[in-house]
C-alpha cells in the first residue's frame, strides 16, 4: 500500500524560497521547513530573510541569502551559489510581486515597466535559473505565484492581471519543455490573503468586508493556507501535476459576486 504520509515528507530535500522575508513567502518557507526540507530563505530584505531562517532553525534547517527578485543577474548568482553549495535544488518557489492600482489610461510607462520587471520578467529569470539546475539533475519542482486576477479583474488591475495571466501561461509552456527531464512547473493563484501587501485594504473595514463577501467563506485567507498549497505542489504527493495553476481563492472564481439571500443550507 502507498505510504501517503511519506508523499508529503520533504526530508533530505533542498528548497529555495524567494520572497521569504514576509507574507506568503515567509509562510511557504516555514511550511517547507516543517515538512523536513532544508530551506534557503532569499529576499532583498536581509534581516527579514534571516528572521525567517532563524524561526525555521528552531526545529529544522535553514539559511538566508540576499537577492532582488527583479534583478536577473542577482537571480543567476543566487542559483549558482545554491548549486555550488548544495549540489542540487529540489524545490524552488518565487512569491514577490507588485501591484500598482491604476486604470490603463492613468498607468505610466514607469508603472508598467515596474510590474512587468518584477512580476513577469522576475518570474522568467527565476524559472530559467532554477530550472537549469533541475533539468541537469533530472528532477525538481518549480512553483511560481500567479493570482486570481489572472482570471477575474476589476478596474485598475489590467496591467497587474496581465502579468499574472502571463505567469500562468509561462508555467504551462515551461512545463511542456522540461517534463521529460522529470521537472514539474506549477503556479498558485491566491485571491484575498491578509499580508503586508494587502494591509491598506485590510485597514478599510468596508472594503475588507466587501472583498470577503466575494468568497464562499465570507472571509479573507491566511498566508499559511497558501503555503499549504505550495507545500503540496513541492511534495511527491503532487508528482503527476505539472503545468497547472492551483486556485487558492476561497471560491472567488466559483461564484458570480457575493452570495446573497442564503439563510439556510439544505442537507
Residue numbers annotated as active site: 160
| Set of cell numbers at residue 108 | 505610466
The DSSP annotation for 54-105 comes to HHHHTTSEEEEEE--TT-HHHHHHHHHHHHHHHS---EEEE---------TT
What is the rounded distance in angstroms from the CA atom of residue 191 to the CA atom of residue 57?
A: 30
Distance CA 118, CA 91 (A): 21
Could you tell me the three cell numbers for 195?
499580508
- Give CA–CA dist 133/208, Å, rounded: 42
Cβ atoms of 27 and 42 closer than 8 Å: no
Decide if 60 contacts 40 (C-beta within 8 A). Answer: no
> Which sign does the torsion angle of CA 59, 62, 66, 72 carry?
negative
Task: Tell me how far apart the alpha carbons of residues 35 and 27 are, in angstroms, rounded to a whole number.
Answer: 13
Q: Which residues, at least 6 apart from 150, have a Cβ–Cβ distance to it below 8 Å?
A: 161, 164, 165, 167, 168, 189, 245
Q: Give the length of the chain.
A: 267
Amino acid at each position: 500500500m502507498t505510504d501517503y504520509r511519506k508523499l508529503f515528507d520533504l526530508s533530505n530535500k533542498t528548497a529555495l524560497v524567494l520572497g521569504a522575508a514576509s507574507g506568503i513567502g515567509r509562510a511557504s518557507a516555514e511550511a517547507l521547513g516543517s515538512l523536513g526540507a532544508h530551506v534557503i530563505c532569499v529576499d532583498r530584505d536581509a534581516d527579514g530573510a534571516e528572521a525567517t531562517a532563524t524561526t525555521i532553525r528552531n526545529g529544522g534547517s535553514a539559511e538566508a541569502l540576499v537577492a532582488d527578485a527583479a534583478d536577473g543577474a542577482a537571480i543567476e548568482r543566487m542559483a549558482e551559489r545554491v548549486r555550488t553549495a548544495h549540489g542540487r535544488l529540489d524545490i524552488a518557489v518565487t512569491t514577490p510581486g507588485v501591484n500598482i492600482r491604476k486604470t490603463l489610461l492613468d498607468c505610466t510607462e514607469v508603472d508598467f515597466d515596474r510590474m512587468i520587471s518584477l512580476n513577469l520578467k522576475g518570474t522568467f529569470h527565476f524559472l530559467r535559473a532554477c530550472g537549469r539546475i533541475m533539468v541537469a539533475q533530472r528532477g525538481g519542482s518549480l512553483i511560481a505565484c500567479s493570482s486570481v486576477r489572472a482570471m477575474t479583474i476589476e478596474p485598475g488591475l489590467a496591467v497587474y492581471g496581465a502579468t499574472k495571466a502571463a505567469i500562468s501561461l509561462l508555467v504551462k509552456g515551461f512545463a511542456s519543455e522540461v517534463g521529460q527531464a522529470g521537472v514539474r512547473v506549477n503556479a498558485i493563484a491566491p485571491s484575498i490573503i491578509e499580508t503586508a501587501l494587502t494591509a491598506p485594504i485590510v485597514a478599510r473595514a468596508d472594503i475588507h468586508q466587501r472583498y470577503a463577501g466575494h468568497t464562499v467563506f465570507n472571509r479573507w485567507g491566511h498566508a499559511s493556507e497558501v503555503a499549504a498549497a505550495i507545500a503540496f505542489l513541492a511534495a511527491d504527493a503532487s508528482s503527476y501535476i505539472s503545468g497547472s495553476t492551483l486556485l487558492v481563492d476561497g471560491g472567488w472564481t466559483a461564484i458570480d459576486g457575493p452570495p446573497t439571500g442564503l439563510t439556510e443550507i439544505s442537507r
